[in-house]
Structure 1
Amino acid sequence: MPSAPSESSAAASAAKPPLPKAELHLHIEGTLEPGLAFALAERNGVQLPYATEEDLRRAYSFADLQSFLNLYYALMAVLRTEDDFADLADAYLARAKEQGVRHAEIFFDPQAHTARGVPIGTVIGGLARALDRAQENYGISTRLIMCFLRDESAESARATFEAARPYLDRITAVGLDSAEVGHPPSKFREVYALARAAGLKCVAHAGEEGPPAYVWEALDVLGVDRIDHGVRSMEDEALVARLVADQVPLTVCPLSNVRLRVIDDLADHPLPAMLDAGLLVTVNSDDPAYFGGYADDNFTAVRDALGLDEAALRTLARNSFRAAFLDEATRAAYLKELDAY
């Protein structure tokens, strides 16, 4: 494992702006900070079951993925209008700029909103308003990834995809998220085939709480371009060899893994072993409002807890641009910026 940085190098690092990076695993609904949640609740006449922002923050103690999802979906009640979704995305982008993010690929969960009576066009329209201004306002390029809720039916996923067809020019990829255990990727074989036929990229959450077998299914049944999380891949030597040989990116979220009890202690995270194995691993924030940190906060946390040196952090940042859904000219420009850092 790489050696810990010296005090002088740590101080120099603290004085520098954050390392340029791409964020590839970010749920926009998971950036809903308590302050914005209360502001949108007041705007839309929604009564939250918490008296103050501090009361809400105290609820951010999760036993597992499902306990997090219960709160995550409940707070979405404040998101009603295009303005709400635009404000949510704009608030994330402002924070992302401060964290050194130069490119962001943003997940959204349309089923969580259409189930509440919010049209999919309202969701996409609001997000697109903010993303269209992201380069000018924050110097961040963006992509939008539409996720299917895996604890909903395959029929619901297909209906969601069909409802999104008029907006596919705004969507780069489809993804798969929510409760993993008991909902294998193969359940969504048909809708992923439709997405690939429409020319979209494909990603899927796998190997977070679910077993390595789910990673195999995401690769071989869904034909994904990236695996989101994938930390449990390390339990299967043959799978690791496959991921290394094909250089399949893994979008790992260290602080999320600890907060959701996937890993008990950040010091025990397999990230160094994943790097040593030659995996194309990246570091991301997942649902940063709930898990205690945005993109660079995750970089800082793994540096401190795992003793990752500057070279390892640069590798993680380089991997993020390599794994991004970018044209080659833009990718090269970002990598040049990283090399000059």
Structure 2
Amino acid sequence: MNTLKNCLRYVLLALPLLFFACKDKDPGPDTDDVVYVGSVDKKLYALDAATGSKKWEFLTGGTVYNDAAFSNGVVYVGSYDTKLYALDATTGTKKWEFTTGGQIYSSPAVSNGVVYVGSYDTKLYALDAATGTGKWVFLAGGRIRSSPVVSNGIVYIGSDDFKVYALDAATGTKKWEFLTGAPIDASPIISNGIVYVGSIDKKLYAIDATIGTKKWEFLTGGNIYGTAAVSNGVVYVGSFDGKCYALDATTGAKKWDYTSSPSVSGYGVSVANGIVYFAGNTGGKQYALDAATGTKKWELATVGSTYYSTVSNGVFYAGSSDGKLYVTDAVTGTGKWTFSGGAFTGKPCVVTKQGKVVRGNPGD
């Protein structure tokens, strides 16, 4: 009997230890883990987000102008060698490649096990993300430099034929098309049932995402090559007139504009935590502006052209044609590290330790 009592006592004493041992470990705050960025030196780089040290690199057969995409442990990237590559995100080992009929400037998008990418051969391709097997192809009327965006089972894409297309994501069937006044280099973004896209006709368009009718348009003073960003009911866009514009997302009414100094060709924008990040392109600067007022908070000077940026977990990532990727504190602009490779023109793709993917704006 004493032996039984002693056994029960040890079991009861051990229960708290078993309880705490079985509890899930608190993952703590999410932090950035890996940055994937392509370069004109034909490579895709995987970098440690904390230090900038290189984890691996993958050499394609042509210039990599576009952004990488990440899904389920695989990184997808297109190249001017006409191919889309699927790489193991941890090792950089190639899983498959798919050859299109033209150079790839468009960035891939992945949704529901399908990867979508445009090509200079005027086609948008839908491929099985696991195998690279083709599912469908849509033929546009011009080169595709714009990048696809998938929302609510619809793929949106712009083309050099002046048009924005809305396609059924499963079949490629066209739902509608919208004609602008010039080729479309910028990529569409979707917010609250509205498609926002810039054109080389100097205008930003707001289009009903379901039926393709125009809600409003806004004329800037220069061509729009960069993708816009939307936050808190405001759409932000850069123009080659050297300005960043803040517009009411519902009406298109201008709230403010910021002119770079000296005035340069404006390009892509990102927005996070009340700050708009505006690429000055030919002036080699990235500007951080107050999202509500347009007041400059800080600027980053490079010695090359800048195009896009990504903001994640309070960290700002931006490439330049000077061959460097710059990483700073997103609030203060204080430098954290730089990485030297070839010229970087796309948005860095950041994957956090908890698996969140950020390419441009948080939530993208």
**Of the two structures, which has the highest relative contact order with CA contacts closer than 8 Å and spacing of 6 or more?**
1
TM over 0.5: no
Higher strand fraction (1 or 2): 2
**Structure number, greater radius of gyration:** 2
Structure 2 length-normalised TM: 0.32
